Amino acid sequence: MALKRGSLFIPVKLLISEEEHLKRITEPSRRARWKSIDPLDVYQTEPLITIEHPHLFELDVSGFFAAQVAEKILKHIQSLIS
């Protein structure tokens, strides 16, 4: 799609530690957004998609708030278009 639009494709892969994932997934406020609060969902056994791309940005979000993650992603994008 990016190629068709003449856009730069920048895949972003977010990683999270098991401990932080457990802490976040069991947060009751997730239920209001139709998200799972089942701690067993942390232990999914299905393999994740493998992404190999020169612009891939992998970021461990365990120690960051959403706004900080967004800022890091935007900095990565800026580094690619500058």
Q: Which pTM was predicted? A: 0.81
What pLDDT, on a 0 to 100 scale, did the predictor assign at position 44? 79
Domain count, the chain: 1
Domain that includes residue 74, residue range: 2-81
In this structure, are residues 69 and 61 in contact, taking their beta carbons and an 8 Å threshold? Answer: yes
The partner residues of 81 in beta bridges, in order of sequence, read none
Q: How does DSSP classify residue 26?
A: T
What pLDDT, on a 0 to 100 scale, did the predictor assign at position 34? 95
Q: Which amino acid is at 50?
A: T
pLDDT along the chain (82 residues), means of 10: 93 94 93 93 85 96 96 97 88
**Cα-to-chain-centroid distance, residue 73:** 10
Over residues 14-32, the pLDDT tens digits come to 999 999 999 999 999 999 9
Based on its alpha-carbon atoms, the radius of gyration of the chain, rounded to whole angstroms, reads: 15
What pLDDT, on a 0 to 100 scale, did the predictor assign at position 82? 84
